[in-house]
Chains A and B, each alone.
Chain A
Amino acid sequence: GNSVTQMEGPVTLSEEAFLTINCTYTATGYPSLFWYVQYPGEGLQLLLKATKADDKGSNKGFEATYRKETTSFHLEKGSVQVSDSAVYFCALTKNYGGSQGNLIFGKGTKLSVKP
C-alpha cells in the first residue's frame, strides 16, 4: 500500500544552520506530495507541494523536489530561524481525478532551533 517514511526526530539545530528532513514514499501511480507544518498548539498547515516528477515546491525559504527515480521529497532550508521550530510532516495523496483525496502522513519530524 501507499506509505510515507520520514527521518526520526527530534532534530536540533542552531539558528542559521542548514536543514534537511528526509522523506521517501511508496505509492502506485503518480502521487502528489506535500509538506505540512504543525506549530505548537495548532493544526497542520500546508507548507509546500509538488504534483509531478521534478516539480519543486517552495515556500518561506523551504523547498523540496519531487524525485520519482528515488521516490523522495526531502525538505530543505538554507538558514533556519527559531520561529521554524515545529513538527514537519511529509504526506502524499493520490490523484484519482478528485474521487478520493485523503492524505497519508509520515510520523512527523520535530525540529527545534536554538538561538
Chain B
Amino acid sequence: DSGVTQTPKHLITATGQRVTLRCSPRSGDLSVYWYQQSLDQGLQFLIQYYNGEERAKGNILERFSAQQFPDLHSELNLSSLELGDSALYFCASSVGQGGESPLHFGNGTRLTVT
C-alpha cells in the first residue's frame, strides 16, 4: 500500500461530459503529480502541485485542469471529454518538490469515455 488514495477506481461517462478525479497524497507528502497512462502514449506527465501551488506542467490539455487544496488533496478535472481521453489516470505524491524524491503512486482511476 503506497498510502496514496485515488477515487473513484472506475468511471464511465459519455463524450462531452465533465468528470473530477480525486487524490489524497501519502501523509506528509507535499507534492502531488498527475499522470495519464494510455496504450498508445504510455505514461505521460500531466501536472505537478507542491503545497498548493502549480510547480510543473507537462502534456496537459486545455480541457483539463487541476488544483491542490489546503489539506493537500488534489483534484483533476476533465471536461468536454473525448473518446481519446479514455485512459488510466494516476496520482503520485512525494515529500519534496521532485528531483531525487521517489514518487509514490496510487492505484489509478480508469476512465472510459463512450
- Taking Cβ atoms with an 8 Å cutoff, the residues of A that contact B are 32, 34, 36, 41-46, 49, 51, 89, 93-108
Contacts and interface: CB of A to CB of B under 8 A. Distances in A.
Contacts of A93: 98-100
A101 B48 CA distance: 9
A107 B56 CA distance: 21
A41 B18 CA distance: 25
A100 B56 contact: yes
B102 A99 contact: no
A108 B42 contact: yes
A95 B99 contact: yes
Given A34-B102, A100-B97, A102-B98, A41 B107 contact: yes
Interface residues of B, number: 27
14 contacts: A32-B99, A44-B43, A49-B102, A89-B43, A93-B100, A95-B100, A99-B55, A99-B97, A101-B48, A101-B98, A102-B56, A103-B33, A106-B42, A107-B42
Contacts of A108: 42-43
A46 B103 contact: yes
A41 B1 CA distance: 12
B108 A51 contact: no
Interface in B1-48: 2, 4, 31, 33, 42-43, 45, 48
